[in-house]
Amino acid sequence: MGKGNVTIFSGDGRGKSPAALGRAVQTAVEGKRVVLIQFLKGRGLQDSEFLRRLEPEIKLFRFEKSDENYEELSEERKQEEVGNIRNGINFAKKVLSTGECELLILDEVLGLVEKGILNADDLKNLLECRGNTDVILTGINLSDEICILADEVSRIETVKFKVWE
């Protein structure tokens, strides 16, 4: 039995999540199922009418309860969210173990490692459950320890940025 590919989109540039979402759309066009789990993004894409129209091929999940970005929360609320985030990671493990989809996207999961909510071993253990499921990880900072877990790594950097009006 083959193993699904692990792809990482990292770097301080804009476009990591859109690149992953583009891959999700490509996968859905092929008639395959996608699960996208967002972390550390506040409200994120959860309330997007557009994404709701992509279901059931692309399913979006967010386990954090706060609409605020994680960094903006008090320490007490951060601890509450850590429990919710761990629920999201457990859900990801279930998705991988059951083969519920052909592509699992863990958006901003590298930020969980950076903040100490997960460690590289946690991520490695999660990825070992993937079977034939492809997995995309996104986030700003990428350690060597996590980099070696991937089949493909793309570093996204912003060369020039102009705010759209």
Q: What is the CATH number of the domain that holds 26?
A: 3.40.50.300
Which residues of the chain, if any, have pLDDT below 70? Answer: 1-2, 42-48, 164-165
Residue 164 resides in a domain: no
The residue segments making up the domain with residue 75 are 6-155
Give the pLDDT confidence score for residue 95 in this predicted structure.
97
Residue 74 resides in a domain: yes
Give the pLDDT confidence score for residue 1 in this predicted structure.
43
Distance CA 29, CA 58 (A): 10
Give the pLDDT confidence score for residue 121 in this predicted structure.
95
Residue 165 resides in a domain: no
Handedness of CA 53, 51, 87, 103 (dihedral sign): positive
Give the pLDDT confidence score for residue 43 in this predicted structure.
61
Q: What does the DSSP assignment read for 15-76? A: -HHHHHHHHHHHHHHTT--EEEEE-S-TTTTTT-HHHHHTTTTEEEEE----SS-GGGS-HH
Give the pLDDT confidence score for residue 112 in this predicted structure.
94
Give the pLDDT confidence score for residue 42 in this predicted structure.
63
The total of other beta-carbon atoms located within 10 Å of residue 73's CB is 16
Residue 141 resides in a domain: yes
How many domains does the chain divide into?
1
